[in-house]
Amino acid sequence: MFIDKVKLELKAGNGGDGLVAFRREKYVPLGGPAGGDGGDGGSVIFVVDTNKSTLLDLRYTKFIRAKDGEKGKTKRMHGESAEDVLVKVPLGTIVRDLKTNEVIADLCDKDGRAIICQGGKGGLGNYHFASGRNSAPEYAKMGQMGEERKVEVELKLLADVGLVGFPSVGKSTFLNMVSKARPEIADYHFTTLRPYLGLVQNPDGFSFVCADLPGLIEGAAQGKGLGHEFLRHIERCRVILHIVDMGSEEGRDPLDDFKIINEELGAYDQELLKRPMVIVANKMDLAGADENLRRFKKAHPDLEVFETMTMAGEGLQAVLYRVEELLKKTPSFALIQKEENTVKRYTYTKKEDEFRIVNEGGHNWRVEGDKIKRIFENADLKSEEGIYRFARILKNMKVDQKLREAGCQDGDSVYIEDYGFVFEEDI
């Protein structure tokens, strides 16, 4: 079975803590603060590798972790930053956050790269905090936590052209003939179980990617056969190549086949019917094919039909030139489809909500929000100086004022994450 969806747990490295240290030099009785900064944690970055066409490599991977940054060192030396972990994925990979269902990366160009989990920044060493008031700060910043998330990685095939039609009409034979792709060919239904991509090059040098897709049957859009799972791969194809068994090898009427497939495409997504379509009348070598074609043309006088014998490689070049013409005048589609339009793109510069105050009742209050959380994670609440500093930041952010406005009184408990303190005017 074609594996084009995998779930992964990712964790970027934490930043190394800044160091509290003092210079100790010969003949210098009191050295200044000299604790170095922590190194940055490694990020987990997805990179497009055009040599890959499946997510198979990730199939047995559950966790991907980047290493933590090193702690700061003495003599103001930086701890070493950890290396980023690069995860190679095929072009057309989409990464979705499982918790929010947000699409956080849509790797749709060949140089695509996306930081999926940002490594934590290293904390500052104590030498940064020396001031006139305190020339020997016993305080350094802790490294930030690296991001972690559970994601679903999905590959949407990026084909310019998609081959559609009933099973056994000759789709795989077509791709075998026109490209180096070698999907299996056989006379039973659903020979092709997963999409195959082939690069087609016309004699004039124009090239495009053609996808051989599993056969569709009536009811595919409701999940019958294998069609449903793969209909979504057609979403991104700019041109549809619709192959009809004009020889009626299996006894079905090609006119019905054509109608049913179009209905299935429309049932899946009306937009698909607006795509340019090239109609291929295949198996023209079989008895009865000419008569069927005559009826077909009569029923669809306005449609252009290409006659082929894919097995013998006949009539294919004309089809490929027609595809080229259509591709040249059909723009690429947006990669994120309309049902995902409401989805926000993930950016690291997105505005953080500063904070919210929640009255938990019984004189207990909670302050929460992205920014508060980040400041909290960065604070060193083990030292008095760190606590003082933290309180000052909250005050600058007007957290005190907002608490009071919300009704918080002296002596009430205020919680930030798992840290609680007593509310008092001007601590």
The residues of the shown chain that bind Mg ion, judged by CB under 5 A, are: 171-172, 191-192
Q: Show contacts with ligand GTP in window 19-58 (CB under 6 A).
A: none
**Would you say 327 and 161 are in contact if contact means Cβ atoms under 8 Å apart?**
yes
Q: Does 66 bind ligand GTP (CB under 6 A)?
A: no
228 Ramachandran zone, left/alpha/beta (phi>0; psi -120 to 50) = alpha
User: Smallest distance, Å, CB 282 to ligand GTP?
Assistant: 5
Helix (H, G, I), strand (E, B) or coil at 174: helix
Asked if 112 and 47 count as a contact pair (C-beta separation under 8 A), the reply is yes
Q: What are phi and psi of 128, to 5 degrees?
A: -70, -20
Query: Smallest distance from the beta carbon of 253 to ligand GTP, in angstroms?
Result: 17
249 or 412: whose CB is closer to Mg ion? 249
Give 120 or 195: the residue with its C-beta nearer to ligand GTP: 195
- In the list 14, 53, 144, 192, the residue contacting ligand GTP (rule: CB under 6 A) is 192
Residue selected from 21, 117, 159, 169 as contacting ligand GTP according to rule CB under 6 A: 169
Pairing of strands 277-282, 305-307: parallel
Binding to ligand GTP by residue 122, rule CB under 6 A? no
Distance CA(190)–CA(228), nearest Å, equals 13
Q: Is the Cβ of residue 72 or residue 170 nearer to ligand GTP in the bound state?
A: 170
31 touches 21 (CB < 8 A): no
Closest CB to ligand GTP among residues 71, 283: 283
Please tell me whether residue 419 adopts helix, strand or coil conformation: strand
Contacting residue, 144, 172, 248, 378, with ligand GTP by CB under 6 A: 172
Instruction: Report the distance separating Cα 29 and Cα 320, nearest Å.
Output: 84
For ligand GTP, how many residues bind (rule: CB under 6 A)? 25
State how far the alpha carbon of 410 is from the alpha carbons of 82, 391, 392, in Å. Answer: 45, 15, 17
Q: Name which position in 282, 292, 293, 399 contacts ligand GTP (CB under 6 A).
A: 282
Sheet with 277-282, edge to edge strand ranges: 196-201, 207-212, 161-164, 239-245, 277-282, 305-307
Q: Angle formed by the axes of helices 289-299 and 254-268, to 10°? A: 50
Point out which span in 1-9, 140-148, 233-241, 304-312 binds ligand GTP (CB under 6 A): 304-312
Residues of span 197-226 touching ligand GTP by CB under 6 A: 214-215
CB 226 to ligand GTP: min, Å? 8
Which of 22, 190, 415, 423 touches ligand GTP (CB under 6 A)? Answer: 190
d(CA 272, CA 275): 5
285 touching ligand GTP, by CB under 6 A = yes
Nearest distance from residue 172's CB to Mg ion, in Å?
A: 3
For the CB of residue 247, give the shortest distance to ligand GTP in the complex, in Å.
6
Stretch that binds ligand GTP, among 6-14, 119-127, 269-277, 281-289 (CB under 6 A): 281-289
The nearest distance, CB 109 to ligand GTP, in angstroms, is 30
Which of 36, 170, 195, 227: binder of ligand GTP (CB under 6 A)? 170
Q: What does the block give as tokens for 205?
A: 């040098």
| Nearest residue to ligand GTP on Cβ basis | 215
Query: How far is residue 15's CA from residue 122's CA, in Å, rounded to a whole number?
Result: 4
The DSSP string of 89-118 is: E-TTEEEEETTT--EEEEE-STT-EEEEEP
168 binds, among ligand GTP, Mg ion, none (CB under 5 to 8 A by kind): ligand GTP
Report the interface residues with ligand GTP, using CB under 6 A.
Answer: 165, 167-173, 185-187, 189-192, 214-215, 247, 282-283, 285-286, 309-311
